[in-house]
């Protein structure tokens, strides 16, 4: 919808989009006061398994471990790459049937099917994690030792029934992941970052750094990126904000998307990139390649950590310096969090208008402070005023993203940098998300509204053919 706007038609769309809708009166909810301890909540949400169920589950775990050893002894591991899925599954069924008879263990049909599937995942995939990786409703997988696996669904964390046999089992899965990308993890190198075959981000820390068992976090890669239309439909931001952002991206304002971990910064950056013209040359630089740009002329770069000998590292700054020699129209950095901030600001200041990046910050003002701190940590000795002048001339717009307490993600603010006032960077907020109340089920009631401030870049928009009407910036009654 938005990506197909013509310059001649955007004004009419903007006029129709900003017509204020009647706002229902929100009656305050008076919840009954009831204090519940965390342990009670756990009991209410998940009934404790009986001793019989627990013992049977433990026995099934032992059987699975024995079966896995049997498979390793009997399967020709060298032939796994050439064997079809059907052949491998048939071989697993044959071996497990023979072994179950030998150890005199009787399983019902459902348990046999689950056992065979688990063993298939152990041999070809990531064991207990495989089911969670295939679950499209799961966004993050968080492992706290072998007996506790959490997932995030719709912004909320929940404990799963998934477990590992023991710490050795978990370490084996971690080693399987990192060895596939030429990395290692052990006591001398207890933390590791990697990327799974499907593009998901993987991070692990093992003992002795991880005290109670290895810690694993997996940020799943979204195969289908969300566009502006979908985000507006989901209520992530309003049509008025989308109309403004289209003009901002198309007229090559430099944009920083800020927010907390898991707030949706990369998703927003992906969506904003949809407003970039197809004839522009775009270079993307990321620690883990997640951006999914749809333009024709896109060059993707990914930083590289050092190898087991501590050599061969390629930082984002190295990529960014090289990108400046590759005639980019725009540069998009997945996340700015270190010394590469110097090169990013210089790129924005030296003819690469329309560049974008993300940063961890709780507000636009906090994002400016983070930029100042990163410049200082890069070892560049500059007066604070000079640093702020650099930021004010390089960055045009901050888009603030937040994950609210009900798990929803919202664009809570759009703020422009207007220049310097003395030694302070001057800013103005154009749009914000207002919280109005809370529903009985814990869902937040709110609305998006303009602040009534006219855009600092209105003349620029008009020169590029984007005549945004004054009504776009009128606040809701």
CA angle, 451 then 453 then 459, to 5° = 140
Tell me the mean pLDDT in the region 209-215: 91
Sign of CA dihedral 247, 248, 250, 256: negative
| Spatial distance between the Cα atoms of 364 and 368, rounded to a whole number of angstroms | 6
DSSP code for 416: E
* Token pair 């001793």 in the structure block, residue: 51
Do 216 and 230 fall within a single domain?
Answer: no
| Spatial distance between the Cα atoms of 269 and 91, rounded to a whole number of angstroms | 46
| Spatial distance between the Cα atoms of 283 and 467, rounded to a whole number of angstroms | 29
Do 269 and 380 fall within a single domain?
Answer: yes
The model's pLDDT over 392-439, given as tens digits with 9 standing for 90+, comes to 999 999 999 999 988 889 999 999 999 999 999 999 999 999 999 888
| Spatial distance between the Cα atoms of 448 and 239, rounded to a whole number of angstroms | 10
The model's pLDDT over 133-185, given as tens digits with 9 standing for 90+, comes to 888 889 899 999 999 999 998 878 899 988 888 898 899 889 888 887 777 78
Do 109 and 154 fall within a single domain?
Answer: no
- Per-residue pLDDT, 16: 42
When mean pLDDT is compared across 119-128, 298-307, 436-445, the lowest value belongs to: 119-128
Do 355 and 307 fall within a single domain?
Answer: yes
- Per-residue pLDDT, 410: 94
Q: Is residue 40 part of a domain?
A: no
- Per-residue pLDDT, 333: 92
Identify the domain boundary among 100, 124, 148: 124
- Per-residue pLDDT, 255: 96
| Burial of 118 (C-beta count, 10 Å sphere; 0-12/13-18/19+) | buried
Q: In this model, does residue 5 exceed pLDDT 70?
A: no
- Per-residue pLDDT, 175: 87
Q: In this model, does residue 56 exceed pLDDT 80?
A: no
Q: Pick from 358, 365, 364: which is nearest to 344 by CA?
A: 358
Tell me the mean pLDDT in the region 98-103: 77
| Spatial distance between the Cα atoms of 446 and 451, rounded to a whole number of angstroms | 15
Are 172 and 122 in contact, with CB atoms under 8 Å apart?
A: no
- Per-residue pLDDT, 244: 96
| Spatial distance between the Cα atoms of 135 and 123, rounded to a whole number of angstroms | 19
Q: In this model, does residue 444 exceed pLDDT 70?
A: yes
Tell me the mean pLDDT in the region 464-477: 88
Tell me the mean pLDDT in the region 267-278: 91
Tokens of 256: 């920083």
Which residues, 6+ apart, have CB-to-CB distance to 179 below 8 Å? none
Are 143 and 214 in contact, with CB atoms under 8 Å apart?
A: yes
Q: Which domain holds residue 55?
A: 47-124
Do 180 and 290 fall within a single domain?
Answer: no
Do 272 and 294 fall within a single domain?
Answer: yes
């Amino acid at each position: 919808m938005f990506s197909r706007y013509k310059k001649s038609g955007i004004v009419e769309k903007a006029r129709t989009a900003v017509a204020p809708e009647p706002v229902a009166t929100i009656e305050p909810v008076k919840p009954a006061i009831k204090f519940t301890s965390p342990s009670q909540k756990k009991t209410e949400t998940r009934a404790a398994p009986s001793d019989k169920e627990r013992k049977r589950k433990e026995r099934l775990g032992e059987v699975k471990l024995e079966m896995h050893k049997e498979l390793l002894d009997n399967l020709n591991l060298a032939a796994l790459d050439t064997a079809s899925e059907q052949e491998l599954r048939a071989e697993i069924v044959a071996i497990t049937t023979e072994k179950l008879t030998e150890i005199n263990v009787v399983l019902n049909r459902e348990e046999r099917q689950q056992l065979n599937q688990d063993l298939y995942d152990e041999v070809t995939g990531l064991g207990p994690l495989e089911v969670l990786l295939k679950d499209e409703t799961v966004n993050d997988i968080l492992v706290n030792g072998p007996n506790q696996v959490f997932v995030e669904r719709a912004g909320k964390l929940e404990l799963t029934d998934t477990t590992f046999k023991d710490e050795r089992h978990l370490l084996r899965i971690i080693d399987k992941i990192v060895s596939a990308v030429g990395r290692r993890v052990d006591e001398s190198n207890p933390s590791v970052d990697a990327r799974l075959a499907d593009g998901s981000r993987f991070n692990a820390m093992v003992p002795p750094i991880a005290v109670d068992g290895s810690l694993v976090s997996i940020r799943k890669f979204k195969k289908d990126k969300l566009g502006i239309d979908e985000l507006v439909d989901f209520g992530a931001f309003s049509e008025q904000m989308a109309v403004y952002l289209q003009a901002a991206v198309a007229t090559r304002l430099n944009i920083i998307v800020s927010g907390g971990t898991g707030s949706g910064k990369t998703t927003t950056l992906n969506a904003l990139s949809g407003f970039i013209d197809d004839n522009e040359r775009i270079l993307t630089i990321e620690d883990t390649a997640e951006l999914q740009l749809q333009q024709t002329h896109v060059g993707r770069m990914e930083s590289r950590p050092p190898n087991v000998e501590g050599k061969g590292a390629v930082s984002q700054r190295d990529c960014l310096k090289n990108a400046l020699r590759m005639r980019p129209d725009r540069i998009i950095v997945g996340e700015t969090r270190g010394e590469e901030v110097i090169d990013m600001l210089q790129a924005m200041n030296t003819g690469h208008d329309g560049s974008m990046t993300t940063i961890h910050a709780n507000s636009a003002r906090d994002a400016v402070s983070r930029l100042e701190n990163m410049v200082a940590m890069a070892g560049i000795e500059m007066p604070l005023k000079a640093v702020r002048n650099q930021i004010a001339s390089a960055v045009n717009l901050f888009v603030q993203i937040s994950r609210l307490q009900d798990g929803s993600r919202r664009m809570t603010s759009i703020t422009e940098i207007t220049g310097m006032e003395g030694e302070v960077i001057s800013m103005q907020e154009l749009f914000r998300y207002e919280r109005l109340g809370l529903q009985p089920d814990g869902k937040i009631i709110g609305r998006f509204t303009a602040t009534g401030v006219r855009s600092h870049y209105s003349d620029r928009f008009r020169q590029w053919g984007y005549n945004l009407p004054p009504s776009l910036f009128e606040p809701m009654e």
